[in-house]
Chains A and B, each alone.
Chain A
């Protein structure tokens, strides 16, 4: 059957026959890098377009419909505009940190792509601590926001950065604890093992109510970690004009913008992997015929379908909820989500020990 993994292994075999092993490694690294960067660019374009169309749909508008068929090239036109715009550095800004911050943001989201299983047997880096790696690297993104806010020499930026720091540090906890629920059930940190464990059913169905609670908490924490509304306090355009990226323009702003969307994609990919079985098709018990039909849909389609469903949820939140206040945001985490997820983790652990899951 046609699949991305066959193509990947075909290329690998051909390279191994033709070149010495060192060259093979280098060439493969370059290929992977090019793939990540192009995936990055495509994701940026697609997600920006999707956000604008979803918001237009919710807000009884048409959305972009002028550039290209149904406005499909609108985000490309925007990219060209951003590329030719002047990237200003304000007076009094810390030039080095100011220019470094957007690159850190983008590098962090690129690194996060590594352990994700995009399709059956298609992972860039089959890492045995995949989940740990993801939660560790994603915390680094707060550094870029703090750096941008501090170096901008703008008080709105500084306030936005401080809010973001407090927010991400808090929500890391419940995100981590809800991820741990699945790790406890699977007994492995490897994302491929987690997917393999869901071959007879996704955790969201197998894990009863505790896993469902973990999923809800994960969704809230993921929205908060990616600074999306209703937790977009770092930007909060009605309060802080644009928050931490007030002073950024041109491509430097675009990199922050891109990093935000790619981060949304990545948290949704992690959510899909943990709770919805990654690329695993929908299998229902002993319905062999049904399961067989489901297997014919390519695994990458399953994966991207699940991711875009979660992304749609997060966009839906953004366009219908008002924003929280900073103290309410921290209250929500420390008073409600953290105790609930701790208790939930205990429940899941008991469930895993007693084997009370399908």
Chain B
């Protein structure tokens, strides 16, 4: 009994997916036009949880504003903080001690694994398999406990400050991380068995939401979404920051451009992160974990930009400074926003079930899109 009002002239049905919908994992509102079950158009409506973080940052000092960015992409909050700290350090030419750099990178990679673990569970749940979600959370919990020991918080750790990190590592850190690596290597085979190798899962993911390299670039995609289309774009490789240029790791690349390619990229990225952690965990240099900085930070007049690779893609921060204690203007380039813009292009001609698979493979975090 479809009301006449909600039909378009061609007889298509318009359906609101969200703002409260199980597949959007947050307050994302998609208006989709359907012909039968085939998607004609997807129109994302944003702004439900816009908190004007950029404006808020303008009234906070350079020490304070870093922590607001934890609330943007809460799954890779540490990496967001990292970008902000790097930008301030670049502006003030602060030399970060090597120990602090290694700790930051270690935490970055742990955050990336934790984020991908959660994505993996949510992705499988979108496709109707509930159990992987619990299995993913079991392993993620171990990482959260490692974070809790060292930083005091589990999700929004606020562990970074300009010049280094807030506290030294917890004495149990190395042992716990090594235990986690052993656990992870045992469990990743389970993941492959349960989800990756499942024929239903592969059929749902392959040739769904195909994004060509040219389209992916023109939509401004980054991270696993762009690498799934075969474009090399890992910021850690191309514009290395901290000690990434000294580390050995591969950039995961797939050429198919479909949801399964994006899925495989993230699985391989987790393995690469484990490799990075393995290289660093026994070689944490001794020394200071914080550089000596002035009590009040003042960036010189000018414009500063820093990009990092978060779990979702390229996160950029652009600071315009007038020379005061607070930034004049801050702009964030969040990966989720650009990745979401490709959804309409990918989804056209697909089914509703495909839309869910595509949204899952884009790994959308809504506070990252609505800042």
Q: Which A residues are CB-close (under 8 A) to B131? A: 55, 58-59, 319-320
How many interface residues does B have (CB within 8 Å)? 34
When chains A and B are docked, how far (Å) is the Cα of A232 from the Cα of B2? 23
Residue A184, interface by CB 8 Å: no
Among A5-13, A105-113, A129-137, A323-331, the stretch in contact with B: A323-331
Interface flag for A191 (CB, 8 Å): no
Q: Which of B6, B130, B203, B353 has the most CB of A within 10 A?
A: B353
B138 within 8 A of A: yes
Q: Is the CB of B126 within 8 A of A153?
A: no
Bitwise interface map of A from 155 to 193 toward B, beta carbon under 8 Å scored 1, else 0: 110110001000000000000000000000000000000
A239→B357 CA distance, assembly (Å): 10
Contact of A239 among B13, B23, B195 (CB under 8 A): B23
**A241-B353 contact given A236-B128, A321-B198, A322-B128, CB 8 Å threshold:** no
Q: Is the interface of B mostly helix, strand, loop or mixed?
A: helix
Report the Cα distance A60→B190, complex, angstroms: 14
Q: Given A55-B130, A159-B37, A325–B138 Cβ distance below 8 Å? A: no
Complex interface residues of chain A between 59 and 110 (CB less than 8 A to chain B)? 59-61, 92-94
**Residue A229 at the chain B interface, CB threshold 8 Å:** yes
Which B residues are CB-close (under 8 A) to A236?
128, 353
Instruction: Determine the distance from Cα of A235 to Cα of B126 in the docked complex, in whole angstroms.
Output: 13
B22: chain A residues at CB < 8 Å are 237-238, 241
Contact indicator B128/A93 (Cβ below 8 Å): no
A324 to B6, CA, bound (A): 28
A352 at the interface (CB under 8 A from B): no
Known A153-B1, A156-B15, A232-B128; judge A322-B201 contact (CB<8 A): yes
Q: Could you tell me if A92 and B1 are in contact, using CB atoms closer than 8 angstroms?
A: yes
Bound state CA distance, A163 and B353, in angstroms?
A: 12
When the two chains form their complex, are residues A325 and B1 in contact, meaning their CB atoms are under 8 A apart?
no
Q: How far is the CB of B94 from chain A (nearest CB, A)?
A: 45
B125 interface residue, CB < 8 Å from A?
yes
Contacts of A326 in B (CB 8 A): 37, 351, 353
| Residues in chain A near residue B203, CB distance under 8 A | 324-325, 328
Q: How far is the CA of A282 from the CA of B130 in the complex (A)?
A: 36
The answer to whether A322 touches B129 (Cβ under 8 A) is: yes
Are A241's CB and B1's CB within 8 A? Answer: no
**Interface residue? B354 (CB, 8 A):** yes
Q: How far is the CA of A163 from the CA of B2 in the complex (A)?
A: 16
User: What is the minimal beta-carbon distance from A268 to any residue of chain B, in angstroms?
Assistant: 22
Task: Give the contacting residue for B129; candidates A151, A152, A159, A320; CB below 8 A.
Answer: A320
Q: How far is the CB of A160 from chain B (nearest CB, A)?
A: 10
A111 to chain B, nearest CB (A): 28
Q: For B2, what are the chain A residues with a Cβ–Cβ distance below 8 Å?
A: 155, 158
A321 touches B37 (CB 8 A): no
The docked-state distance in angstroms from the alpha carbon of A7 to that of B47 is: 69
Q: How far is the CA of A327 from the CA of B3 in the complex (A)?
A: 26
Neighbouring B residues of A320 by C-beta, 8 Å: 129, 131, 194
A323 to B138 Cα, complex, angstroms: 23
Asked whether any CB of chain A lies closer than 8 Å to the CB of B21, the reply is yes
Contact check, A238 vs B127: say whether CB atoms are below 8 A apart. Answer: yes
Q: Is the CB of B138 within 8 A of A60?
A: yes
**Could you mark each residue 179-220 of chain A with 1 if its beta carbon is under 8 Å from any beta carbon of chain B, else 0?**
000000000000000000000000000000000000000000
Chain A residues in 8 Å Cβ range of B15: 155-156
A319 (CB) vs chain B CBs: closest residue? B131
CB-CB under 8 A from A140, the residues of chain B are none
Given known A159-B37, A322-B200, contact A239–B1 (CB-CB < 8 A): no
Q: Bound state CA distance, A328 and B203, in angstroms?
A: 8
> Which interface residue of A322, A326, A328 has the most chain B CB atoms within 10 A?
A322
> Which residues of the partner chain B approach A158 to less than 8 Å between Cβ atoms?
1-2
Minimum C-beta distance from B131 to chain A (A): 5
Q: Which residue of B lies closest to A154 (CB)?
A: B1
Asked if A230 lies at the interface with its beta carbon under 8 angstroms from chain B, I say: yes
Tell me the bound Cα distance from A309 to B196 in angstroms: 28
B1, B23, B125, B135, most chain A CB atoms within 10 A: B1
**Alpha-carbon distance A236/B15, docked complex (angstroms):** 16
Q: Contacts A322-B198, A325-B351, A327-B351 given: A155-B13 contact, CB under 8 Å?
A: yes
Q: Which residues in B have some Cβ–Cβ distance to A below 8 Å?
A: 1-3, 6, 13, 15, 21-23, 37, 124-131, 134-135, 138, 194-195, 198, 200-201, 203-204, 351-356
Residues in chain A within 8 A of chain B (CB atoms): 55, 58-61, 92-94, 150-153, 155-156, 158-159, 163, 229-230, 232-233, 236-241, 319-328
Q: What 3 A-B pairs come out closest when comparing CB atoms?
A: A323-B128, A322-B127, A59-B134
- Further contacts, 11 of them, CB under 8 A, given A150-B1, A238-B126: A59-B130, A155-B13, A159-B352, A230-B128, A239-B352, A239-B353, A322-B204, A323-B127, A323-B204, A326-B351, A326-B353
